[in-house]
Amino acid sequence: MSDEATPAQGSSENEFIKDASNYLRGTIAKGLRDPITGGIAPSDQQLLKFHGMYQQDDRDVRLERQRQKLEPLHSFLIRIRMPGGVCTPAQYLELDRLACAHAGSTLRLTTRQTFQLHTVPKRDLRQLIQAMHKAELDTIAACGDVNRNVMCNPNPLLSALHAEVYAWSKRLSEHLLPRTHAYHEIWLGDDLVAGGEPADDHEPLYGKHYLPRKFKIAVAVPPSNDVDVFANDLGFIAITDGDKLAGFNVTVGGGMSLSHGERATYPRIGDVIGFVPAADILAVAEAVLTTQRDFGDRTNRKHARLKYTIDDRGLDWFKAEVERRLGHPLAPARAFAFDGNGDRYGWVKGVGDTWHFTLFVMNGRIRDDGDRPLLTALREIAKVHDGDFRMTGNQNLMIANVSKANKRRIDSLLDHYRLKDGVEKTGLRLASMACVALPSCGQAMAESERYLPSLLDKLDAVVRAAGLEKEPIVIRMTGCPNGCARPYLAEIALVGKNLGKYNLYLGGGFAGDRLNKLYREGLADEEIVSALEPIIHRYARERNPGEHFGDFTIRAGYVKATRQGRDFHD
């Protein structure tokens, strides 16, 4: 496939937008300067994603503003590229400052280990990106048809290994970055060479049309699968020889999104196709990514993820193509075992006298909320913290690498701000996630982040009554079927169908290793509770020792097990 070829007839609209964009420039710069509207042109909105930003609008006021002769209240979501979810206290303080100045005084931890700032007005975007740049943060390729933020297990128990795996994650992220100068030019003000199109702008890896669709990579360190490695287009599972990193098992073809009512769309968990030594990880990633670049479906964006490329052509074909590009066959996959995809809360001792505190952050939302001033608390902690912060794949925050000397200070701040009350929370709540959804997300069909806490209040009462308050049960909610909170891997999933109505899925694997299945459709609040209540009580009575809720719902016959993506709708 020639890079310079114009998109074939029948290609999706985005292909033409990319084609005409001059390496992701479009007319973004011009749109930013237009003071008449708070938004930018629709085609630029597509390109803006490659720069880590989404144009959104406050859907709570959309209709009333229409009457008021005001355009929608446009603002921008900014997603930071933060491989492995690691940032320094200084970077955190800068993000906190920027959130307070430009983003409604709130930060959002995402399900892919990074921060999002929401409700940023257009006129503030450039200064915000520039401030981030000074703090050595960027948003390049945090969204868009490229490789996105690379996830990495932040396992504190094996810090030496983590450091090594994290370094590979970072190298992966950097190796797969787009090479266009558009980001620097538009946001940081680097001048265009006179005459317009810079001669040296080309994309050796992606080509001018980039990928057919988004591309996600995660690196897991067993026994924890907190990154949900199987939900990614490309996954690496760290394999150790004793304490040493030997290399990685490679998984391909995971992905969450589907469309309601379209059976041709389905979530899929990745297949393990082999093992590579650590040194080969970049070459493997490149081979997988370019195979998808060349063979992915560019005509239908709902069928463009790697999972469909693999299912359409067969896993054997795909593996052979990757090996051909790699120049040698993959070694057989090695043994590994995951024991869960959740987080361990509270203090944990790492190697070399360092300590880590994992903090439960409901829905990843950091904000001062009446008697829970979380934003203030984390700011005060960041001011004295001598380690780093790590986001988990479950929207939680780890105050990591706290020196022994500093531990007491951090601990007293945690006490002062009442952040150690995790024990009061049910295992269900501690294993919960919700996407942002309304009012800012354009895809949302129903509430998610704003609704899950009140639903959990009701379900907490149910699990307490059943004596299961300590039992971690993975529950995830999304406002639409696109799957940002990876609902199809949860033991209980609620996926928004329309306002106030959710599809209920059951039977996901506790370790993020099995998809769930639709149990009931279009349930309202009380219906969700009454559908789950008898199952939870029965689980309390009839479960086998060590049996997880998801496994139980299959054994008890509530749903059939989903073995692979194409079985999802059966």
Partner 1 sequence: MRIPQIDPSQTPLSGPQTAQFNAFASSLAPDQSAWLLGYLTASKHFHRDDDHPSAVAGSASDQQLTVLFASQTGNAAKVAKLLVAASASAGIQAVAVSTADYKSANLRNERQLVLISSTQGEGDPPDSAVEFRRFLFGKRAPRLEGLRFAVLALGDYSYANFCKAGAEFDQRLEELGGKRILARVDCDVEFQAAADAWQGQVIETFKGLLPSNNRAPLVAHPVPTTEEAGYDKARPFEAAVLERINLNGRGSEKKTYHLEISLTGSGITYQPGDALGVVPRNSPAYVRDLVAMTRLAPDASVSVDGKERPLADALGDTFEITTITRPFVKAYASQIGSTELGALLDKGQEESFQKYVHGREIIDVLQAFPSGDLPAQTFVGMLRRLQPRLYSIASSLLAHEEEVHLLVGLTRYESHGRMREGVCSSFVCERLRDDEPLRVFPSPNPSFRLPANPDARVIMIGPGTGVAPFRAFVEERETLGCRGRNWLFFGDQHFATDFLYQVEWQRWHKSGVLSHLDLAFSRDQAEKIYVQHRMLERGRDLYAWLQDGAHVYVCGDAGRMAADVHEALIAIVSKEGGKNREAAVEYVENLQASKRYQRDVY
Residues near partner 1 (CB under 8 A): 35-38, 61, 64-65, 67-71, 73, 121, 123
Answer yes or no: 425 catalytic: no
Q: Which is nearer to partner 1, 20 or 61 (CB)?
A: 61
Nearest distance from C-beta of residue 64 to partner 1, angstroms: 8
Answer yes or no: 216 catalytic: yes
Q: Which is nearer to partner 1, 129 or 391 (CB)?
A: 129
Q: Which is nearer to partner 1, 127 or 498 (CB)?
A: 127
Nearest distance from C-beta of residue 418 to partner 1, angstroms: 30
Q: How far is CA 229 from CA 153, 237, 270, 338, 547, in A?
A: 9, 8, 8, 10, 22
Q: Which of 216, 268, 344, 365 is catalytic?
A: 216
Answer yes or no: 441 catalytic: yes
Q: Where are the alpha helices (DSSP H) in 296-384?
A: 306-313, 315-326, 374-384
Nearest distance from C-beta of residue 57 to partner 1, angstroms: 11
Answer yes or no: 18 catalytic: no
Q: Which is nearer to partner 1, 31 or 154 (CB)?
A: 31
Q: Which is nearer to partner 1, 119 or 251 (CB)?
A: 119
Nearest to 75 by CA among 113, 98, 104: 104
State how far the Cα of 127 lies from the Cα of 123, in Å rounded to an integer: 8
Nearest distance from C-beta of residue 38 to partner 1, angstroms: 7
Cα(first)–Cα(last) distance of the chain, in Å?
A: 37
Q: Which residue has the tokens 């149990």?
A: 519
Nearest distance from C-beta of residue 483 to partner 1, angstroms: 31
Q: Which is nearer to partner 1, 67 or 134 (CB)?
A: 67
Q: Which of 213, 214, 268, 305 is catalytic?
A: 214
Nearest to 153 by CA among 88, 219, 64, 207: 219
Nearest to 130 by CA among 79, 84, 77, 184: 184
State how far the Cα of 547 lies from the Cα of 20, in Å rounded to an integer: 54
Q: Which of 112, 484, 497, 517 is catalytic?
A: 484
Strand order across the 271-277 sheet: 151-152, 217-220, 234-241, 244-252, 271-277
Nearest to 429 by CA among 462, 398, 400: 462
Answer yes or no: 152 catalytic: no
Structure tokens at 89: 């206290």
Contact predicate 412/357, CB 8 Å: no
For residue 439, say if its preceding peptide bond is cis, omega within 30 degrees of 0: yes
State how far the Cα of 241 lies from the Cα of 161, in Å rounded to an integer: 11
Contact predicate 28/311, CB 8 Å: no
**DSSP classification of residue 84:** G
Nearest distance from C-beta of residue 80 to partner 1, angstroms: 24
Q: Which is nearer to partner 1, 41 or 272 (CB)?
A: 41
Q: Which of 143, 480, 497, 517 is catalytic?
A: 480
Q: Which is nearer to partner 1, 37 or 130 (CB)?
A: 37
Nearest distance from C-beta of residue 464 to partner 1, angstroms: 39
**Residues found in the chain:** 570
Answer yes or no: 214 catalytic: yes
- Number of neighbouring beta carbons within 10 Å of residue 504: 20
Nearest distance from C-beta of residue 66 to partner 1, angstroms: 8
Buried b (16+ CB within 10 A) or exposed e, 413-434: bbeebebbeeeebbbbbbbbbb
Q: Which of 18, 81, 112, 148 is catalytic?
A: 148
The catalytic residue positions are: 79, 148, 214, 216, 435, 441, 480, 484
